[in-house]
């Protein structure tokens, strides 16, 4: 089942600045998804669109089969969370590993499975070397 489905989504800041153009993707239940890219590539715009802070120029968003509309906004926001760009608003633990573990704890992942999951996914995004680093000391 797709928990999030984005179809042909476009958004523009002003007349000449396309933040995103015709973006489509699906996120399956139980999967882990990260949106990565350079500064100004549209990551924050997509996050704001997913929680209804911005209204798309075209396209649609479905969350667990519920269309993202003004009427359904509180339902959708109860199902989606975002990671803030400002570190002062998001760090829980003293290391990157602690912060990732906090998220897994909220999903009731057994403690015995956490290290393997953290290492597997940190390898996928080339972050293993930073797992024991203090998050506020990382840049970019």
What phi and psi, each to the nearest 5 degrees, are found at residue 113? Answer: -95, -15
| Mean pLDDT score across all residues of the chain | 86
Strands 18-28 and 2-12: antiparallel
Give 31 or 15, the one with higher predicted confidence. Answer: 31
- Distance between CA atoms of residues 83 and 130, nearest Å: 18
- Distance between CA atoms of residues 85 and 100, nearest Å: 15
Q: Which has the minimum average pLDDT: 41-45, 74-78, 132-136?
A: 74-78
Give 2 or 85, the one with higher predicted confidence. Answer: 2
Mean pLDDT (whole number) for 48-74: 90
Structural domains in the chain? 2-77 (3.40.50.300), 87-137 (no CATH)
Copy the structure tokens of residue 61.
């968003």
- Distance between CA atoms of residues 8 and 127, nearest Å: 31
Q: Which has the minimum average pLDDT: 3-7, 56-60, 78-82, 95-99?
A: 78-82
Mean pLDDT (whole number) for 83-87: 61
- Distance between CA atoms of residues 117 and 113, nearest Å: 6
- Distance between CA atoms of residues 140 and 22, nearest Å: 27
Question: Does residue 89 carry a pLDDT above 60?
Answer: no
Give 39 or 117, the one with higher predicted confidence. Answer: 117
Please say whether the beta carbons of 15 and 25 come within 8 A: no
Helix (H), strand (E) at residue 40? none
pTM: 0.59
């Amino acid at each position: 089942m797709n928990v999030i489905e984005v179809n042909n989504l476009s958004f523009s800041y002003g007349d000449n600045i396309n933040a995103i153009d015709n973006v489509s993707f699906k996120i399956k239940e139980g999967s882990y998804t990260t949106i990565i890219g350079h500064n100004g590539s549209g990551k924050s715009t997509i996050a704001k669109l997913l929680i209804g802070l911005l209204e798309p120029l075209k396209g649609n968003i479905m969350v667990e089969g519920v269309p993202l509309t003004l009427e359904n906004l509180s339902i959708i926001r109860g199902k989606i969370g975002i990671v803030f760009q400002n570190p002062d608003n998001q760090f829980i633990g003293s290391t990157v590993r602690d912060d990732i573990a906090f998220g897994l704890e909220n999903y009731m992942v057994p403690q015995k499975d956490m290290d393997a999951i953290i290492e597997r996914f940190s390898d996928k995004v080339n972050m293993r070397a930073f797992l024991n680093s203090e998050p506020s000391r990382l840049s970019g």
